Chains A and B, each alone.
Chain A
Amino acid sequence: MPAELEIGLIAVMTAASCAVCGSLLLVRGMTMTADAVSHTILLGVVLAYFAAGGLDSPLLFLGAAAVGLVTVALGEMLVKSRLVSEDSAVGVVFPLLFALAVILITRYASSVHLDTDTVLLGELAFAPFERMTLFGADIGAKGIYTSAGLLALDLLFAVALFKELKTVSFDRTAALVMGFSPALLHYLMMALVSLTAVGSFDTVGSVLVVAFMAAPAATAYLLAESFGKMLAAAVTAAAASAIIGVRAALALDVSFAGAMATAAGLVFLAALIAAPKRGLVGAYLRRRAGKRRR
């Protein structure tokens, strides 16, 4: 498989899995949690690195998911204490964990191959160099398998628990009364977000994980009238942005992740302006029509 195709494939699958998580977050008004979690997983990566002595261990995923959950739990504890508003709670917790991670890395791990840049920024261009081998035969880039695995996991989660997720996001109380534990679903979802973020960081970087969790979901939110359609639209928008981004990056010779995020932003901008019912133009026309009727 040519390198460009491998890069494109990884980009599309990573973007799509982020879009699934992002849609689940957006309808609950928790998109900034993606930002927090995507930063704090760095601490999980560092701790797992110290425990396992390398970056190739499944411990990395476990550590990252655990720290992601800790971030969310700490934030909720603060909110529950009624001392801090929700956004401030996020703003207090995640920089602390991130700062600890940076201190640990620069102090104890600066000599080894654990660069904060690779976690934060990622580099899709290097993805084809890491090969997956089976019985000595090259079966494609490693990133393809990670991103495919993540996408499968995310889709499985969203499809299998579709009605539960829809219920708990729309009407938490009803979910509780019906016996679908909102807390359990919430933490499952957060674990998934953390896993997706850690699985994506070495390809797109943790900052752009946020872009792909936020932008395609927001695009779909403007277009879709039902939750199922929103998920589908988000995945489509993410895949399209990834393809446009990779193409543009190749043509202009710029960073893949940067170009992909920009493309996602442009796709969102298009929907923001022109979405038939919810776009700026539509809203403006309706407002004017409403005025005239009066």
Chain B
Amino acid sequence: MNAAAEVRHLTVSYGEKPVLVDVSLTIPRGSFAAIVGPNGAGKTTLMKTMLGLVKPLAGEVRIPARGRRGAVGYVPQSESIDRDFPISAYEVALMGRYASLGWFRRPGKADKSAAEECLRRVGMEKFASRQIGELSGGQQQRVFLARALAQDAEIYFLDEPLKGVDAVSERAIISILRGLCAEGKTVVMVHHDLRTVRDYFDWVSIINLGVVASGAVEDVFCERNIDRAYSRRAAEAAV
């Protein structure tokens, strides 16, 4: 199997509190992969560690694309963004081109038209000059998606991009991500809505502190595994 990302025996702790314990999983190239698990399961930490933002206590992460500048794309959780920052939707999209430019070089005409094109692809061209805080949550996520598109990465990481997003934006985002996978790119996404896993993704990693199950959706996304991750009590409490 041609892996776009591989995690081996990863253990991460904040202080003395273990957040991830002995996590091993593989994400094949070209897959649309979800990371699911209950709150506090370590989904975001896993993603951050894969991106190299958190140093693990033990274990390793292998992402072959990391060798090339800008080959790893990232879409933040919308809450982590400063909505008041003086920046327009267009500027955010243009930011995607910065990675391949490297230090000091400024974006040229080609970069600018690429950014505009990416805004069009997410249906946000009309809002190009809007300050980011003036957009709704879904629109913001689409702008960040445009940035990721502009970056032209090989593997994309998205941290709950659908949180607080309206139905229209959600559909738009998913169809664009699917398009990326069809081009042979890999998309890894922290996801919280179990109802849509089967519809959206072809690969899923169910985690809770450790890996409960990881593999093709049809193979591993079953009641038993989900129950194991979310614990009986949570499932019973909801019924």
Enumerate chain A interface residues (CB-CB to B < 8 A): 27, 29, 82, 160-164, 166-167, 169-171, 173-174, 176-180, 221, 224-227, 229-230
| B interface, CB within 8 angstroms of A | 15, 51-53, 69-70, 72-74, 76, 80-82, 84-88, 91-92, 95, 98-99, 101-104, 106-107, 129, 131, 147, 151
What separation, in Å, do the CA atoms of A128 and B85 have in the docked complex? 40
- Cβ A178 vs Cβ B70 within 8 A: yes
**Cross-chain contact B103 with A177 (CB below 8 angstroms):** no
Known contacts A174-B76, A179-B99; 8 additional CB pairs below 8 A are A160-B104, A161-B103, A163-B101, A170-B85, A170-B87, A174-B74, A179-B70, A226-B91
Known: A177-B74, A226-B91. A27 touches B98 (CB 8 A): no
Cα-based distance from A59 to B85 in the complex (angstroms) = 37
- State the majority secondary structure of interface residues on B: loop
B81 and A221 within 8 A (CB): no
Contacts of A224 in B (CB 8 A): 86
Complex partner residue of B107 from A163, A176, A177, A230, CB under 8 angstroms = A163
Q: Which residues of B contact A225 (CB under 8 A)?
A: 86, 88, 129, 131
CB distance from A235 to the nearest CB of B (A): 15
Chain B positions within 8 Å of A221 at CB level: 84, 86
- Smallest CB gap from A176: residue in B: B53
The residue that B88 contacts in the complex, of A164, A167, A173, A226, with Cβ under 8 A, is A226
Report if A178-B81 is in contact (Cβ < 8 Å); known contacts: A163-B107, A226-B86: no
Q: CB-CB < 8 A to B88: which residues of A?
A: 225-226
**A23–chain B nearest beta-carbon distance, Å:** 9
23 contacts between A and B (CB under 8 A): A27-B82, A163-B101, A166-B95, A167-B95, A170-B85, A170-B87, A170-B92, A173-B74, A173-B76, A176-B52, A176-B53, A177-B51, A177-B72, A177-B99, A178-B99, A180-B103, A225-B88, A225-B129, A226-B86, A226-B87, A226-B91, A226-B131, A229-B86
Task: Take A167-B95, A171-B81 as given contacts and tell me if A179 and B69 are in contact as well, using a CB distance cutoff of 8 Å.
Answer: yes
- Distance A164 CA – B98 CA, assembled complex (angstroms): 8
Min CB distance B149 to A, Å, is: 14
